[in-house]
Every structure is written in structure tokens, then in C-alpha cells.
């Protein structure tokens, strides 16, 4: 095979891979409101606004309250030890963004406040290591 043919094929592969990555990065996640239509436990991946965070030391959990665009709220639990090992400390304004995407088991709950709970298996976006924050500029 000619060298120019190999370069052309490699370029084509690079373009296809780039389009695929761009599509995945720009595709939206389902909003917490999507959970309103689920009536049985199911694995889900959803995005929501973080309206509350607290740590339940007795049960070794980080507890997030996530809100959808229409105001539906879900409680999302994550193992505290796992959170600390992945993000370098307790959840705070420096490690949790205003929106996050989580993946886990959704269990519907009949409540006047919450539509259910998610046992988080992974946090896909919305948390970062505190030590990765931008450095302060010296003047």
C-alpha cells in the first residue's frame, strides 16, 4: 500500500473519531425530571442542579439533593470514603459544581418533597479535586 494511501486512511479515521468524541461530549444528559415517569427501580444517568449537600457520618454517605428543570427533586447518596478518595476531601464549594451528572440505581419514592432516591454508582460530571482549582495569580 502506498504511503499516501495510509496517510489518507489515518486522516479519515482521525476525522471519524473526532466526530464521535464531539458528539458524545455535546450530547445532553437526561434531566432529573425524566425520573417522574419511572415507577420501578432502574439504572439511570441524569443531570440536576445541586441544591443541597450534606455528609451523613453515621452511615458514611455524602447526600446530594438534585433538582430538575421543573423543580422535581431527588436524593442521591454516594459513599463518603469513595468520594474522599476520588476528590481529596469532604464535599464543598471547591469540589462540587452547581450542576452534576450521576449514574446509579433510581428507586421511586412516594413523597411530597422527593420523587425518589439514587444510589450513586459514579459521578460523571460536577465534582473535581480541590487541588486542581486554578492557582491564585500573584501581583
Query: 3-class secondary structure for the chain?
Result: CCHHHHHHHHHHHHHHHHHHHHHHHHCCCEEHHHHHHCCCCEEEEEEEEEEEEEEECCCCEEEEEEECCCCCEEEEEEEHHHHHHHHCCCCCCCCEEEEEEEEEEEEECCCCCCCEEEEEEEEEEEECCHHHCCCCCCC
Q: CA-CA distance, 103 to 28, in Å (whole number)?
A: 14
Mean of the per-residue pLDDT values of the chain: 80
Domains of the chain: 29-130 (2.40.50.140)
Cβ-Cβ contacts under 8 Å for 62 (sequence gap 6 or more)? 53, 54, 55, 56, 77, 78, 79, 80, 83, 90, 91
Tens-place pLDDT, residues 72-96: 999 999 999 999 888 887 887 666 7
Tens-place pLDDT, residues 27-80: 579 999 999 989 999 999 999 999 999 999 999 999 999 999 999 999 999 999
Which phi and psi angles does 129 have, rounded to 5°? -70, 135
CB 102 within 8 A of CB 65: no
Residue 139 clears pLDDT 70, i.e. is over it: no
Q: CA-CA distance, 108 to 94, in Å (whole number)?
A: 31
- How much is the pLDDT for 93? 66
Residue 136 clears pLDDT 70, i.e. is over it: no
Say what percent of the chain tops pLDDT 90. Answer: 50
Residue 22 clears pLDDT 60, i.e. is over it: no
Amino acid at each position: 500500500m502506498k504511503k499516501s494511501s495510509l496517510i489518507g486512511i489515518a486522516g479519515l479515521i482521525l476525522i471519524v473519531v473526532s466526530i464521535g468524541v464531539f458528539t458524545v461530549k455535546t450530547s445532553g444528559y437526561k434531566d432529573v425530571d425524566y425520573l417522574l415517569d419511572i415507577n420501578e427501580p432502574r439504572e439511570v444517568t441524569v443531570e440536576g442542579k445541586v441544591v443541597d449537600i450534606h455528609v451523613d457520618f453515621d452511615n458514611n454517605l455524602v447526600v446530594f439533593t438534585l433538582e430538575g428543570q421543573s423543580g422535581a427533586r431527588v436524593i442521591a447518596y454516594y459513599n463518603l470514603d469513595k468520594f474522599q478518595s476520588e476528590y481529596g476531601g469532604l464535599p464543598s464549594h471547591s469540589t462540587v459544581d452547581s450542576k452534576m451528572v450521576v449514574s446509579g440505581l433510581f428507586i421511586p419514592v412516594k413523597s411530597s418533597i422527593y420523587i425518589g432516591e439514587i444510589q450513586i454508582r459514579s459521578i460523571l460530571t460536577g465534582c473535581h479535586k480541590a487541588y486542581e482549582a486554578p492557582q491564585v495569580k500573584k501581583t
